Chains A and B, each alone.
Chain A
Amino acid sequence: MPPCAIEFRDVMFSRAGDRTVLDHFSISIEAGETVALVGRSGAGKTTILKLVNRLLLPDSGDVVVEGRPTRDWDPIVLRRRIGYVLQDVGLFPHLTITDNIAVIPRLERWPEPRTHARVLEMLQLVGLPAERFESRWPDELSGGQRQRIGVARALALDPPVLLMDEPFGALDPMTRAELHGEFHRIQQQVRKTVVIVTHDMAEAFALADRIGVVDDGALAVFDRPQAVRESRDARVRRLLDAMPGLTARSRPS
């Protein structure tokens, strides 16, 4: 069994104005698996991701990444070992595609030939031909292409962990389905520890090895997709019922 890449140990977290976001939250994510955290908006999913790369620190309890609590990590070093993909991508509009992908390798003082080779490799990985894309600007790309660049940028330093916050939420269904396929292909190649946050149960079923349902700051269930599908937990059923196409098929007869 590979070691736990990410572990939450009894984490408490509340926002200013003391609204509790996470309430005694614990989870263990193994290296190399893809975990989807599903929940309604405001369930605390994004907070979980931000605790992993130390954009936030827990009020109590520990978030352990690669065996060390985030508290003890240098935040810059930690974040460069964790790729982060946002729903709105957040590509730098003043930089070309190449420069967007090369930002962090350059900050790491990679020699330029190595950086460039890595950019080409990443473009190939996400399925965008370098000769057509390397010198284009972010606003010349479609939403799906931008999201691919977001993934390429996040993987540029070859981090062991990839966090994805509603990565395909803003895309049309066709593109989303296409990118789901691409995700599997890429994950086959790179085998990262991936944590995807989504409010879409169908997406979780399409992508994840294990699915965690987050409700009211706690983990309602965390299991293989098949087990989640058959869960009797009311909080899980509510989410499943919200996905008519899927639940029609999956409702136990």
Chain B
Amino acid sequence: MTRLFAFWSAHRTELVALLSQHVLLVMVSTVVAVAVAVPLGIFASRRPRLAAPLTAIANVVQTIPSLAMFGFLLPVPLIGGVGARAALVVLVLYGLLPIVRTTIAGLRGIDPVIREAGIAMGMTDRELLRLVELPLALPSIIAGIRVAAVVGVGSATIAAAIGAGGLGEFIYRGLSMVDTTVILGGAIPAAGLALAVDALLYGVERALSRRRKESARVVTALAVLAVLAVGASAVASRPAAGAVVVVGSKNFTEQLVLGELLAQTIERDAGLRVDRRLNLGGTLICDRAILSGDIDAYVEYTGTALTAIFHEPVVNDPARVLEIVRDRYSRTGRTLLQPLGFNNTFAILVRGRDARNRHLKTIDDVVPVAPSWRAGFGYEFLERPDGFPGLAKAYGLRFAETPRVMDLTLSYRALASGQVDLIAGDATAGLIKGLDLFQLEDNRRYFPPYDAAIVVRAETLLRYPELRTALDGLSGRISAADMRSLNYAADAEHRDIAQVVREFLQKTTP
């Protein structure tokens, strides 16, 4: 608990900024959802044959997991991609169903006699809607908005996966650092926000159904004021406009460190403003983002680019891999700079204790004991052509049971606590040092090279020549040992990444 408060007070400004972003995301998406769903509901309620298919479609949308929805939207022009816009599209889609449904229900629930009275008195369609139908359906519509907004607060946490910001940022960061405090640092304010939104809209709903006009007006005015105040503060606390270079990263510690490293280097050496879109949800998302121009630069690994992005067959020669990947990037408007200096290959890891007791040095050494061992791998490693299937074939590896699928970051702890006996981690993972794990040598040179190198949009490099100079200054400057201790400082010591990076830059490139 004290750690949590310490975390919040240490990240005060960031917390406020993320909270405002979160509120802004939910607010804008809910307002847009209302603007779309209420007319849609009115339309559907007047054409009963349309209502059923419409709600069916909205139902289907609702069942798509939000992360999958972000995935679908990535390649879509205009509404897709990375950042707040795509997140808003998804949140709006989620908000539609409850509001459409309650709008239809509210309008259908009106006594037909009342409607008939209005028509017979000489009300036009629009007058009937404005004076009779909407006011009577309003409590029901507000109930739908309440559901949409509360669901929106939850879904918005996932928006951090595509760089839209919000409290999910803390949650994802905490997940990648395996740090409960950071996770709670984002999850608790998000839960509080959901409760607050719910209570506020409940108040509006109550005030309306009590139909004491004055109190309904007061509560509605209060709600509008609160929304405006938060909106204004959110707008005010947005990063200053005119950020020129957008730096991205994937969603694990090393990538966060490298993203921050890029950002600080650009700010310090090129004097350009940087917008950080760190913690994007994976290789594919980063690639789409830089292709579409949502981000300008991030750090990729040559082997990953070769197989996962360009779908080329596995090659083991580092120079050859670099050449192929650089060629493919340049054909799609992107430049791959010189490698940073470390190779983040897959590391086949065992407990340090086992390695010492059994004198294990290479992967070959494990083959005889493996049939009584259990292995745990991230799903990516299980699927990739340069992952487990090839490894098993190359070394003739057999385990006691089918390898377990687990989250990459969690697998280090699973290995240390004895739940599994062998994992495939990152060679630069700080936890290798922190948890006393041992990396077996790939003596048959099965794994292709994963040299870290900066990918930049060629267009951005042309526009800012000083960017090139600044980024080139990083090539060859980060050794595997450097990376491991940077990761260790962030992962195991829970130090602030920006601070760790600042110290590193001062030490190595003063």
Bound complex: CA of A45 vs CA of B165, how far in Å?
Answer: 66
Q: Which of B97-105, B121-129, B355-363 contacts A (4 or more CB under 8 A)?
A: B121-129
Pairs of residues from A and B, 5 with the lowest C-beta to C-beta distance, nearest first: A90-B117, A79-B122, A80-B122, A84-B120, A90-B113
Whether A205 sits at the interface, judged by CB under 8 Å, is: no
A94 x B127 contact (CB < 8 A): no
Whether B114 sits at the interface, judged by CB under 8 Å, is: yes
A107 x B123 contact (CB < 8 A): yes
Whether A239 sits at the interface, judged by CB under 8 Å, is: no
A93 x B124 contact (CB < 8 A): no
| B135 nearest CB neighbor, chain A only | A94
B116 x A86 contact (CB < 8 A): yes
Bound complex: CA of A158 vs CA of B39, how far in Å?
Answer: 35
What class of interface size applies to chain A in its complex with B?
A: 20 to 34
Bound complex: CA of A110 vs CA of B127, how far in Å?
Answer: 16
Q: What are the interface flags for A77-110 relative to B under an 8 Å C-beta threshold, 1 for contact and 0 otherwise?
A: 1111000101011111110000000011001000
Whether B195 sits at the interface, judged by CB under 8 Å, is: no
A52 to chain B, nearest CB (A): 10
A76 x B124 contact (CB < 8 A): yes
Across the interface, A53 reaches (CB within 8 A) one of B120, B123, B131, namely B120
Bound complex: CA of A84 vs CA of B132, how far in Å?
Answer: 17
17 more contacts with CB within 8 A, not counting A80-B121, A84-B117, A92-B132, are A53-B120, A75-B122, A76-B122, A76-B124, A79-B120, A88-B111, A90-B111, A90-B114, A90-B116, A90-B117, A92-B117, A92-B118, A93-B136, A94-B136, A104-B122, A107-B122, A154-B121
B128 to chain A, nearest CB (A): 10
A76 to chain B, nearest CB (A): 5
Bound complex: CA of A137 vs CA of B119, how far in Å?
Answer: 21
A169 to chain B, nearest CB (A): 13
Q: What are the interface flags for A196-239 relative to B under an 8 Å C-beta threshold, 1 for contact and 0 otherwise?
A: 00000000000000000000000000000000000000000000
A192 to chain B, nearest CB (A): 16
B119 to chain A, nearest CB (A): 7
A18 to chain B, nearest CB (A): 23
Q: Which residues on A sit within 8 Å (CB–CB) of B116?
A: 55, 86, 90
Q: Which residues on B sit within 8 Å (CB–CB) of A89?
A: 113, 117
Bound complex: CA of A88 vs CA of B118, how far in Å?
Answer: 13
B211 x A137 contact (CB < 8 A): yes
A166 to chain B, nearest CB (A): 12
Whether A148 sits at the interface, judged by CB under 8 Å, is: no
Whether A118 sits at the interface, judged by CB under 8 Å, is: no
Bound complex: CA of A104 vs CA of B127, how far in Å?
Answer: 10
A50 to chain B, nearest CB (A): 8
Bound complex: CA of A91 vs CA of B113, how far in Å?
Answer: 9
| B117 nearest CB neighbor, chain A only | A90
A104 x B121 contact (CB < 8 A): yes
Residue of B118, B122, B135, B211 with highest tally of chain A CB at under 10 A = B122
